[in-house]
Amino acid sequence: MSSLLHITNGDSFTERLKSLRLKGDIITWREMLCEGKTETNVGSESFWKTRYDFLHKNYNVSKSWFIEKTLKEYRSLCNHKQQDHIVLWFEYDLFCQINMLAVLSWLKAHRKYAEISVVCSGKEDESDKMYGLSELNDEKLLELYENRAVLDQDDIEYADYVWQLYCSNNPIRLENLKEYHDYQFPYLADAMHAHLMRFPAIKNGLDFLENQILKISAEQKPQSKKELIKSVLGNQGVYGYGDTQFERILNSLKPLYSSFNPVKLTRKGQEILKGKSNYYSSLRNNDTYLGGALKYNYLYNTESGRILKL
């Protein structure tokens, strides 16, 4: 009898997966590698130190919480050495796709013998809606499980290669990737494109999500900060960010608001949104990383869709 291990994208889906009563143990990957500095050597001491430093500084994560929630679960993964079938449960969005790449990079190094397959939710019907795993009914989840993509060595090598590029200090190399369709990762190209749009735009120094927040503020005129964040959550495209991430972004844009109750931009905020003024110098710092690259060392050209090095 072969043994089975499931690795999920988060706690809420882990609980859901338990209710499906599939065979095998379950490990939850508790990270958000789409934000902050990352290193290629997933699971190393320096990798976890870098991650803890970022989470502690930016999200006030305590050392005890990090050890209890993230490191204990990672150690549990390390101790699952016997399973020869490993199933990854991830979603279409940037948040999940980056975590998935990191897990595949780790598996490539540490579980060479295992058969690795991926269940990835996204486009599940004729509508334009993209679905998270927890939004699907049991029947659909079991269908996705039965039809999961069994990765070959080339797929795993490619995922590891994209992870190495994501962790490199030059995002232009990632921009030049064109071979996504040759591998079994249908949502990776869109996620990587979304990643590149997180570098500041030439026109006003704001990235895609920062511009989206200002746009929703100006057009929808939400009555409260809570209402604004709810709207941004529903209009973020393929990022998969949570409310705490948007709270942090909004905090950096605070000087562009005269009020959050109701939501109102200052005149400067309106000018920046229209591209008549630039906010790059106010946001720039040398401690903001996207993967391995310093965010403010690059600009994104929204006209050409290309990255420029400063």
Across residues 79-102, what is the average pLDDT? 97
Going by pLDDT thresholds of 50, 70 and 90, the confidence category of residue 185 is very high
Say how many domains are in the chain: 2
- Asked if residue 140 belongs to a domain, the reply is yes
| Confidence category of residue 1, pLDDT binned at 50, 70, 90 | very low
139 and 180 part of one domain = yes
Mean pLDDT of 148-168: 98
- Same-domain status, 179 and 50: yes
Better-predicted residue by pLDDT, 179 or 120: 120
**In this structure, what are the phi and psi dihedrals at residue 156, rounded to the nearest 5 degrees?**
-65, -40
Report which of residues 181 and 5 the model is more confident about. Answer: 5
* Residue 166 pLDDT greater than 80, yes or no: yes
Same domain for 19 and 161?
yes
Q: Which of the listed residues 189, 222, 243 is the one where a domain comes to its end?
A: 189
Task: Quickly state the pLDDT bin for 241 (edges 50, 70, 90).
Answer: very high
Asked whether residue 182 falls in the same domain as residue 89, the answer is yes
Domain that holds residue 57: 4-189
Task: Give the Cα separation of 217 and 260 in Å (integer).
Answer: 9
Task: Verify that 131 and 229 share a domain, yes or no.
Answer: no
Q: Quick check: 216 pLDDT over 60?
A: yes
Whether residues 27 and 147 share a domain: the answer is yes
The reply to whether 150 and 280 lie within a common domain is no
Q: What is the pLDDT of residue 296?
A: 98
Query: Are residues 111 and 176 located together in one domain of the fold?
Result: yes
pLDDT value at residue 61: 96
Is 67's pLDDT higher than 50?
yes
pLDDT of residue 120: 97
Residue 198 lies in a domain: no
Whether 44 and 177 map to the same domain: the answer is yes
Is 86 within the bounds of a domain?
yes
Residue 154: exposure state from Cβ atoms within 10 A (0-12, 13-18, ≥19): exposed
Residue 16 forms part of a structural domain: yes
pLDDT for residue 179: 87
Is residue 260 located within the same domain as residue 123?
no
Mapping DSSP onto H, E and C, the string for the chain reads: CCCEEEEECCHHHHHHHHHHCCCCEEEECCCCCCCEECCCCCCCHHHHHHHHHHHHHHHCCCHHHHHHHHHHHHHHHHHCCCCCEEEEEEECCHHHHHHHHHHHHHHHHHCCCCEEEEEEECECCCCCCECCHHHCCHHHHHHHHHCCEECCHHHHHHHHHHHHHHCCCCCHHHHCCCCHHHCCCCCHHHHHHHHHCCCCECCCCCCHHHHHHHHHHHHHCCCCHHHHHHHHHHCCCCCCCCHHHHHHHHHHCHHHEEEECCEEECHHHHHHHCCCCCCHHHHCCCCCEEECEEHHHEEEECCCCEEEEC
Residue 140 has pLDDT above 80, yes or no: yes
Residue 81: inside a domain: yes
In angstroms, the CA 51 to CA 33 distance is: 8
pLDDT greater than 80 at residue 2: no
Residue 88 lies in a domain: yes
Residues 50, 180: one domain? Answer: yes
The per-residue pLDDT for 115 is: 97
Residues 207-214 have a mean pLDDT of: 98
- CATH number of residue 21's parent domain: 3.40.1360.10
Picking from 184, 131, 148, 110, the residue whose alpha carbon sits closest to that of residue 22 is 148
Distance CA 304, CA 77 (A): 42
- Of 140, 158, 189, the one marking the end of a domain is 189
Q: Of 189, 219, 246, which marks where a domain is finished?
A: 189
Q: With a cut of 90, say whether residue 265 has pLDDT above it.
A: yes
Q: How confident is the model at residue 95 (pLDDT cuts 50, 70, 90)?
A: very high
Residue 196 lies in a domain: no
* pTM, entire model: 0.96
Residues 177 and 230 occupy one common structural domain: no
Residue 197 lies in a domain: no
